[in-house]
Chains A and B, each alone.
Chain A
Amino acid sequence: MTDQQGTKKSVRKAGLLSLIPGLGQIYNGQLLKGILYLLITCGFIIELVTVGIPAFQGFITLGTVPIRDHSLFLLVKGTLQIIMTFIYLMVMLLSISDARQVAKRWNQFGKVNRSASSMLKNVWENGFPYLLTIPAYFVMLFVIVFPVLVTLFMAFTNYDFYHIPPAKLIDWVGLQNFFNMFFLSSYRATFVTVLGWTIVWTFLATTCQIVLGILTAVITNQKFIVGRRLWRIIFLLPWAVPAFVTIMSFSNMFNDSIGAINQQVLAFLNDIPFLHIQDIPWKTNPFWTKTALIMIQTWLGFPYIFVMVTGVLQSIPDDLYEAADIDGANFVQKFTKITLPMILFATAPVFITQYTFNFNNFSIIYLFNSGGPGDVGGGAGATDILISWIYKLTTGTSPQYQLASAVTIVISIIVIGISLFAFKKTHAFSNEEMM
């Protein structure tokens, strides 16, 4: 104790020693903490030698002997090992920054915490935010980051129906898949067609649901309406009933020959004088399938917007409208000058997430008509959006995981790019530092 009191600790040395986590702490005199870090290090090294290094080797070669080596398993295990190594590197960084800080405190105060209880207390006091977020990060690492990494890696392999492990090996092929996607005419044609409809779908379906949501909220919010609660409950129903139930019901109702829409609704409308509508080929004509899909998504999605916009409307102070009344503003002016700007200001970020949601809205496309009718090449139907095409590419009789992954990477870049741009424009991130 006495000899340590006088000597200064070198911050640099403490940090460098912690390249082997634990040594820096021991140098600082925090034996217990040091041993804890060392134990973690030992555990990782043992893991690395027994499992990790073979995993990395397997990841690089993706197997050398068919049957014995299962390329897909090697790819997955390699990815998991990369995540493990990343976690260990984070521990190492933590150890280094901790050792440096403690060394600084040595130099300032001449002593540091050493007992187990004071150490725990320190973790509780200063590490509290980390303790609370670690579960979230841990789960996300395996459920979100892991599959994204595997997708990313698969996009650079030749994993398709010619190369199904373990009978065949998978190999790294570099940028070949991306090259094929943009330059091989058959792939490119499908990609462009599907992308085109995906964009049209996203734009029309989302815009329709936002417009209907705002319209319904504004109309329902008028003061004279009797039974406002009841109307609101009705308008929430499409959100409350599980979506797969309603989508499958709609799928049945839109059947060309026996569905209720053609049999009942159109028959009913035809009773109106001078109106005559033929049976509509909802499921066999691409145009009508698309129309039906957009109508159904509008039906499904507007309540969410409706609830949110109603909340915003109720928070707009009445005196704004009273002032407008005095100035002689009419309904349209009040709406475009007060109501709409308030709604857009408050909910723009949510609208953006609605667009990205529909861009990847798999269940409606798949459950309504399995992406059909017809075939636009590459296994995609006329109403397949990118995400359902990817699903078909990976689950069909002749799966093409490599292409599916490459498509995923490309659309991810598009979606992320656009939403980052949109978030920036709407200042969703910027106002958060104001508090």
Chain B
Amino acid sequence: MKKLLSSRKASKSFNRFFTYLFLVTLSVIIIYPLLITAQSAFNNTNLAAFSLDLNMHWTLDNFRQLFTETLYLTWFKNTIVIAIFTMIIQVTIVTLAGYTYSRYRFKGRKNGLIFFLIIQMVPTMAALTAFFVLGLIINGLDHFWYLTMVYVGGGIPMNTWLMKGYFDTIPRDLDESARIDGAGHLRILCQINLPLAMPMIAVQALWAFMGPFGDYLLAAFLLRTPSNLTVAVGLQQFIANPTNQNVSMFAAGSFLISIPIVLLFFFLQRYFQSGLTAGGTKG
């Protein structure tokens, strides 16, 4: 008996050791690349490559240069504008559509949703030219509203599906009793279901907001004038151009956009689990 207990104890501390070893190793692997990018933002020597240097001279020169010699602030402002509009429009559309698919039974319901879920799997890479020509025809090229609509449209099918899944988890008894009390469509939606769906709406808002910050391809294709670019496209020029590379400036610019997004992410993080598991697991 004693032997069994001690072997149990041994295996327990064995387990603990490896658990913490795993956690620490993974953390190092995650933090190291982020740290050296962040640190390079404050490095005053013109770097050719990121590296972790504990004895370097700290400086804010890169940021000053970024603000005075490049269009960074304009890019930042552009991205914020596009991101906010994408977020508002997409979340509105997706919430309404997701709610409808969850609560109403109507002709064309199931086929409509499956159709769009499937067709969005077709990559539109080859049709970038089509977006370009359409932009020329309706005069949307180099305009924010056009890019915003493209972002919104691309996000609808998957997010509607997730939103529907979330509404499915909200009990209908509430709707029924409200309806008996004489509440109309709009009241049931706004006063009962919307407040309960807030976690998912928060998650969706965050995703929609983050999209324009992370997209390189569409923005690079549909925006032309240097002062109209988004942050991703602008920053890419610092690091991709082999003749005029400025790694420190890229790091500084990346640092500045990452901080607010990461903060927002962790601020809304507590909603993630409920939003994801409820919306995602239903399919």
Stretch touching chain B among A10-18, A24-32, A252-260, A283-291: A252-260
Contact B30 A139 (CB under 8 A): no
- Check B119 for interface membership: any CB of A closer than 8 A: yes
For A132, A428, A435, the residue with the greatest tally of chain B CB atoms inside 10 Å of its CB is A132
Q: Which of A140, A367, A390 contacts B156 (CB 8 A)?
A: A140
Contact between A432 and B282, CB atoms less than 8 A apart: yes
Q: Roughly how many angstroms separate A234 CA and B25 CA in the complex, as a whole number?
A: 12
- Are B121 and A416 touching (Cβ within 8 A)? yes
| Chain A residue with Cβ nearest B264 | A240
**What is the minimal beta-carbon distance from B193 to any residue of chain A, in angstroms?**
12
What's the nearest-Cβ distance from chain A to residue B209, in Å?
Answer: 11
Query: Which of A135, A148, A244 is close to B127, meaning CB atoms less than 8 Å apart?
Result: A148
A259 CA / B50 CA spacing, docked (Å): 7
Instruction: Tell me, yes or no, whether A292 is within 8 Å of chain B by CB.
Output: no
A139-B156 contact given A147-B127, A147-B131, A362-B217, CB 8 Å threshold:
yes
Please report the number of residue pairs spanning A and B whose Cβ atoms sit closer than 8 angstroms. Answer: 274
Q: Is A158 an interface residue (CB 8 A)?
A: no
Also in contact, A133 and B49, with CB within 8 A (given A246-B33, A315-B277): no
Q: Is the CB of B239 within 8 A of A248?
A: yes
Closest Cβ neighbor of A435 among chain B residues: B168
Given A150-B130, A310-B273, A362 contacting B125 (CB threshold 8 A): yes
Give Cα distance in the complex from A239 to B210, angstroms. Answer: 11
Q: Whose C-beta in chain A lies nearest to the C-beta of B127?
A: A147
- Quick one: given A405-B126, A411-B123, are A231 and B152 in contact (CB under 8 Å)? no
B243 at the interface (CB under 8 A from A): no
Q: State the CA gap A360–B283 with chains docked (Å).
A: 20
Contact of A249 among B33, B129, B214 (CB under 8 A): B33
Question: Does B190 belong to the interface (CB within 8 Å)?
Answer: no
Distance between Cα atoms of A311 and B121 in the complex (Å): 27
Known A-B contacts A299-B29, A367-B216, A429-B114; the reply to A237 vs B254 at CB < 8 A is no
Check B27–A408 contact: CB distance below 8 A: no
| CB of B133 closer than 8 Å to a CB of A | yes
Q: Is the CB–CB distance between A260 and B52 below 8 Å?
A: yes
Q: Which of A61-69, A349-357, A372-380 contacts B (4 or more CB under 8 A)?
A: A349-357
Cα-based distance from A129 to B110 in the complex (angstroms)? 13
Contact of B269 among A145, A234, A236, A259 (CB under 8 A): A236
Establish whether residues A142 and B34, one from each chain, have CB atoms under 8 Å apart when the complex forms.
no
Is A187 an interface residue when CB atoms closer than 8 A count as contact?
no
A72/B121 in contact, CB under 8 A: no
Q: Which of B31, B52, B120 contacts A144 (CB 8 A)?
A: B120
Query: Contact at B51–A263, with CB atoms within 8 Å?
Result: yes
Do A252 and B120 form a contact, CB below 8 Å, given A72-B129, A143-B150? no
Chain B residues near A408 (CB-CB < 8 A):
122-123, 125-127
CA–CA, A33 and B38, complex, Å: 63
Please classify the interface of chain A as helix (H, G, I), strand (E, B), loop, or mixed, using the class held by over half of its residues: helix
Q: Map CB proximity to B onto A383-403 as digits: 1 under 8 Å, 0 otherwise.
A: 000010011011100000100
On chain B, the number of residues with a Cβ less than 8 Å from chain A's Cβ atoms is: 93
- Among the listed stretches A201-209, A215-223, A274-282, A321-329, which one makes contact with chain B, having 4 or more residues with CB under 8 Å of it? A215-223
Tell me the residues in window 230-259 of chain B with beta carbons closer than 8 Å to chain A beta carbons.
Answer: 232, 235-236, 239-240, 247, 250-251, 254, 257-258
Q: Which residues of A contact B112 (CB under 8 A)?
A: 133, 137
Would A148 and B19 count as touching, CB distance under 8 A? no
Do the beta carbons of B273 and A241 come within 8 Å of each other?
A: no
Is B76 among interface residues, defined by CB-CB distance under 8 A?
no
Q: A241-B258, A264-B51 are in contact. Are A347 and B281 (CB under 8 A)?
A: yes
B124 at the interface (CB under 8 A from A): yes
Say yes or no for B93: interface residue by CB 8 A criterion: yes
A133-B97 in contact given A140-B156, A233-B266 (Cβ < 8 Å)? yes
Which chain B residues border A216 with CB–CB below 8 Å? 22, 26
Identity of the chain A residue whose Cβ is nearest the Cβ of B239 in the assembled complex: A248
Contacting residues, chain A, for B265 (C-beta < 8 A): 236, 239-240
B178, CB-defined interface residue at 8 Å: no
By a CB distance below 8 angstroms, the chain A residues around B261 are 240-242
B122 in complex: contacting residue of A124, A249, A412, CB < 8 Å: A412
Q: Name A140's contact: one of B31, B48, B153, B216 (CB within 8 Å).
A: B153
Name the contact of A136 in the complex, choosing from B96, B123, B266, B280 (C-beta under 8 A): B96
B residues near A (Cβ < 8 Å) are: 16, 19, 22-23, 26-27, 29-34, 36-37, 48-52, 92-94, 96-97, 99-101, 104, 106, 109-110, 112, 114, 116, 118-131, 133-134, 137, 149-150, 152-154, 156-158, 160, 168, 185, 210, 213-217, 232, 235-236, 239-240, 247, 250-251, 254, 257-258, 261-262, 265-266, 269, 272-274, 276-277, 280-283
Q: A133-B100, A219-B19, A237-B30 provided; 14 other pairs, C-beta below 8 A?
A: A139-B152, A235-B27, A240-B261, A242-B257, A245-B258, A248-B250, A249-B33, A250-B33, A263-B49, A264-B52, A308-B281, A367-B216, A426-B283, A431-B282
A-B contact pairs, 9 of them (CB 8 A): A77-B137, A132-B97, A133-B97, A136-B94, A243-B214, A244-B236, A249-B36, A308-B281, A315-B277
